[in-house]
Structure 1
Amino acid sequence: MAMTLATAAPAPLAAAEKPGIVLVHGAVMDGSTWRPVHDRLAGEGYRVSIVQMPLTGFDKDVAATKRVLAMQDRPVVLVGHSYGGAVISVAGADPNVKALVYVAAFQPDAGESIAALNARFPMASHIKDVGGGYMIVEPTALHNDVAADLSEADAAFLAAAQTATAVSSFGAVLPAAAWRHKPSYGIVATQDRTVSADLQRFMFERSYFRTAVAARALGNGMTGAAARPRSTNLAFSTRSLARDAVGVL
């Protein structure tokens, strides 16, 4: 099945009519990784909010996302990257969320966890246990695995700025999956080194039969979990998908 679907560009909307767009980051990083996407969307008049998850547990990350959703005064497109995809699959049940966008992200079903999905499509990982039930990406591996599209200096900064993430979050079993009931869109990063591209395709193909999925394959230097929103190509594609999702509102 072809993974790229043609979608009609939504008609331009006045700023007052445009939906809110809420961006959810992945593990070990923070909301600042969404800066290029934020700037592009805000520059077009969208109201953009960025969740800062504590990464201290899956339920707490979902709660942080719900708090941001509760502040919205208009329909919302909810966007998640990597681990953030699991978070939006639960938080996206909010009735104000009208569409979901998965950016090289996990899209578990009800009763599944990220760990269970990874076991089906295993990849080598460079995770460092920092004690207390928390992990980061091994700093010496981050440039290659997470930030290959960045300069060495920028990757070194990201490695130093990592937020230790609760290991238990990856084993959390989802109670429900909002993508089963709402239109969802996705980006497949074909050279991802932390979320298997085969797993991404499996998840998006699975949801295709129930939702309006437009999965776009990205292989142009998109590497690993840091096919991060910092990448110009990924920023542009995330922006495009978020704008496509506006057409379902």
Structure 2
Amino acid sequence: MRKLLTLAITTMALGTATAGFAADAPPGVKNIVIVPGAFVDGSGWRVVHDILVHKGYTVSVVQPKIETLANDIEQTREQIRKQDGPVVLVGHSYGGAVITQAGNRDKVKALVYVAALVPDVGESVSQLVGSMPAPSNDVAPTRDGHLFFAQDKFGADFAGDLTTNRTAFMAVSQVPATAAAFGATMQVAAWHDKPTWAVVATQDRALSPDLERWMYKRANAKVTEIKASHVVYISQPEAVANVIEDAARNAH
């Protein structure tokens, strides 16, 4: 009897503790789908993911292969289809091009661009980057048609506000892109019809902050400027999560 009573009390205590950590469902859109950019994988979004999940959001991170833009768009659309209800799409860098086209779905209620490309119909990533070059020029092609960020410049120019031991590993574990993916043009541009939020990384050396501002203005985005490198979502995760949450709360 005593053992049963102890077990009951323990179960009640655990249930109470678990309930204390359960987040109430947030207002607005509950589902967040994140598309990382080139040369990095989705693991860098871990802290942003955790912040949003703790607040009650369902967060999914796509891992684009960056072989063809069409495949990355379809992969993102498949993730959108899996969501139970409306979605906020988030894109970083090249991922901005992906969400620009993948976001052309009724289920997508808002777009969030984080130090991202925002192409219009007929434009490509390569075209936009070339129109207003970044402070650095560290992307180099390989003989098989892929692109890499120079390892010796990665720390300073791609992720200048992270620790050296972290950027050294990121440099040697890059996700390569293809020139074909960067050169593919947009068939649609969802930002013409979707409410849009955007983050300028003011210390970005991999993508021109002035280009970010120009694209965001054209898209009529609600813009937040954050003093950070191209990987602003890693170095300033709380600030980026706040922008995503603002989009989720105010999208309809």
TM range (shorter): 0.7 to 0.9
- Tell me if 1:58 matches 2:69: yes
Gaps of 5+ in 2: 1-22
Letter aligned with residue 238 of structure 1: V
Q: Which structure has the larger Rg over C-alpha atoms? A: 2
TM-superposed deviation, 1:18: 4.8
- Tell me if 1:91 matches 2:102: yes
Query: Could you say which residue in structure 1 is the equivalent of 2:239?
Result: 237
> Aligned ranges for residues 74-223 of structure 1 at < 5 Å?
74-123=85-134, 124-208=136-220, 213-219=221-227, 222-223=228-229
Q: Measure, in 2, the Cα distance between the counterparts of 1:29 and 1:43.
A: 24
Q: Measure, in 2, the Cα distance between the counterparts of 1:238 and 1:198.
A: 19
The alignment's TM-score, normalised by the length of structure 2, stands at 0.86
The alignment's TM-score, normalised by the length of structure 1, stands at 0.87
- 1:84-138 CA-partner distances (Å, limit 9, x unpaired): 0010000001211000000010001111111111222123311232331101101
How many residues are paired up?
Answer: 228
Q: Measure, in 2, the Cα distance between the counterparts of 1:137 and 1:244.
A: 32
Q: Which runs of 4+ in 1 moved over 4 A?
A: 15-18
Query: Could you say which residue in structure 2 is the equivalent of 1:5?
Result: none
CA RMSD, Structure 1 to Structure 2 (Å): 1.6
Percentage of matched positions with identical amino acids: 39
- For the Cα contact (< 8 Å) 1:145–1:226, is it kept in 2? no
- Tell me if 1:248 matches 2:236: no
More helix by share: 2
Letter aligned with residue 78 of structure 1: L
Query: Could you say which residue in structure 1 is the equivalent of 2:231?
Result: 226
Query: Could you say which residue in structure 2 is the equivalent of 1:14?
Result: 25
TM-superposed deviation, 1:194: 1.3
Gaps of 5+ in 1: 1-11
- For the Cα contact (< 8 Å) 2:25–2:57, is it kept in 1? no
- For the Cα contact (< 8 Å) 1:101–1:184, is it kept in 2? yes
TM-superposed deviation, 1:63: 1.4
Q: Measure, in 2, the Cα distance between the counterparts of 1:105 and 1:71.
A: 24
Secondary structure of the 1:104 match is: strand
Structure 1 residues 15 and 184 mapped into 2: Cα distance closer, same or farther (>3 Å)? closer
